[in-house]
Amino acid sequence: MSEDVLTEIVGDVGHVVLNRPRARNAITVSLADGLHDALVDLAARTRVIVVRGAGGHFCAGGDVDEVTRLRAEGGDALRTLFDAFHRACSVVATLPVPVVAAVEGAATAGGFEFVQAADVAVVRDDAVLADNHARLGQVPAGGGSQRLPRLLGSQRALTHILLGERLSGADAVALGLAWRSAPAEGFDALVDEVVERLLRADPGAAARTKRLVHEGLRGPLSDGLARETEVVLEHLADPAVSERLARFRAR
């Protein structure tokens, strides 16, 4: 595991910390690879994963020094950075456990894009979220041009991307980009609350629901509805689910 990404398991919860605080946890190939590997590893050993940033910031996007260095080496070298970060964001949808982004400080460019990829996002009131690629003369490179329109609609997403508008935690909640926000003194309690609620959910149901949502987004509604029925039948045939239903009926 990369030293740029730290992990810890506490009970059934896996904790991931982006660990480049002096660079506001800016994304390098090492950090992106480490994030991907940490998510995959913890998903096999825990029931909920929480991703945070060290030093008071979530993630300020791509590391400029890394981009400059790789660009000098040529397009193939530069591609490794974007491919690595795409893998880290995209793997969230394939994991059977919920992934929570706990956002403090800056979550800009790539950091904002990972928030879009997370299953649940909670934010501090004073956090700053933005796709600031356009303000830097750049193009979204971590999936923002595709995920944000799916979350907000094309016009609203383009407005945020092209203007590079900064959002507070409260703004993110109002737009539906985060579940809830809290002031600094209540933020850890908010993270704990969402984790506790996710831990109360049935693991099999959560995994199947995640799969349904992400598979459904790739096809027409009719296919998604048909697939939903199949997955529900699969779920109800699970012996563990049958036992829970029997206990519920007995009450």
CA–chain centroid gap for 135, Å, is 23
Q: Domain 5-200 belongs to what topology?
A: 2-enoyl-CoA Hydratase; Chain A, domain 1 (3.90.226)
Q: pLDDT digit string (tens) for 44-91?
A: 999 999 999 999 999 999 999 999 999 899 889 899 999 999 999 999
Does the pLDDT at position 172 exceed 90? yes
Q: pLDDT digit string (tens) for 103-124?
A: 999 999 999 999 999 999 999 9
How does residue 221 score in pLDDT terms, banded at 50, 70 and 90?
confident
The pLDDT of residue 40: 98
How does residue 138 score in pLDDT terms, banded at 50, 70 and 90?
confident
How does residue 162 score in pLDDT terms, banded at 50, 70 and 90?
very high
β partners of residue 59: 107
User: Which of 131-135, 174-178, 241-245 is predicted with the least confidence, judged by mean pLDDT?
Assistant: 241-245
Within 13 Å, how many C-alpha atoms sit on residue 48's CB side? 23
The SS3 assignment for 181 reads: strand
The pLDDT of residue 61: 93
The pLDDT of residue 242: 63
Q: Which of 85, 88, 51 is nearest to 66 (CA)?
A: 85
Q: Provide the 10 A C-beta neighbour count for residue 176.
A: 9
The pLDDT of residue 246: 67
Q: Provide the 10 A C-beta neighbour count for residue 86.
A: 17
The pLDDT of residue 1: 59
Task: Kindly list the domain boundaries of the chain, sorted by start residue.
Answer: 5-200, 203-250
Mean pLDDT computed over 29-36: 97
Q: How far is residue 32's CA from residue 35's CA, in Å, rounded to a whole number?
A: 5
User: Which of 111-120, 131-140, 206-215 is predicted with the least confidence, judged by mean pLDDT?
Assistant: 131-140
Question: How much is the CA Rg of the chain, to the nearest whole Å?
Answer: 19
